[in-house]
Amino acid sequence: MFGLGLPELIIILVIILMVFGVGKLPEIGGAIGKGIRSFKKATKEPDTPEDTGRKKEIKDRDKTQEKQ
């Protein structure tokens, strides 16, 4: 993908360990996981309940126009 092999990944991991320390890695991993989950949830759900109602109104209007 980016030309990263095993040696490069090991070097990146060592640098991360030196910067954050072993104790902080679980916290960082958890924070990244929560961020990814919230991003996925936000992309699947409508922003507000009004958006859902508006989409339903548009669908209903389109259905009535098709019948005419």
DSSP letter string, 10-35: HHHHHHHHHHH-TTTHHHHHHHHHHH
In a domain, 68, yes or no: no
* Structural domain contains residue 40: yes
Indicate whether 41 pLDDT > 80: yes
* pTM of this structure: 0.46
Host domain of residue 32: 24-61
12 in any annotated domain? no
> How do residues 13-39 score in pLDDT, each as one tens digit?
899 888 888 888 889 889 999 999 999
Q: Is residue 33 part of a domain?
A: yes
How many independent structural domains does the chain possess? 1
Residue with tokens 């759900």: 45
In-domain check, residue 7? no
